[in-house]
Structure 1
Amino acid sequence: MSAPAGFPWGEVMAFGLGRLAWPPEHFWAATPREIAAALRAHQAPQRGPAPERGALAALMDAYPDATEPRGCHDGR
């Protein structure tokens, strides 16, 4: 029977300190669950490219930001 594989510290440190650019104090303060959640977020499928400038402008014209916060239309 073979021994179980050791924890992949090299890969985890490369991800946290390299890819995420966490400072060491943040990396070492993170729990394994937090590091795993960050890894899952980076492995999520991409949603596609950002819209072109013209398409974004059309969306902004069609759906402008509200000038007043929602729920503040009580006449005061």
Structure 2
Amino acid sequence: MSSFDWPALMRAGMRGAGLKPAEFWALTPAELLILLGAGTGEAPMARARLQELSRAFPDEGAQDGRD
């Protein structure tokens, strides 16, 4: 089983981005994902931010002693 949905990527690259087939196949998967807008959102929450929020908004009735 492939980790890439090639038909969907081909549609996005050729129809959506207007790439010619040779241009599409010349790209690496990482280049294609960047071209299609991957990685333009915010980074996922890191552990430090989760702990900060947990301290600011503790679960009501939590009594297990963990931070």
TM-score, normalization: structure 2?
0.49
Higher relative contact order (CA 8 A, sep 6+): 2
Q: In terms of Rg, which structure is larger? A: 1
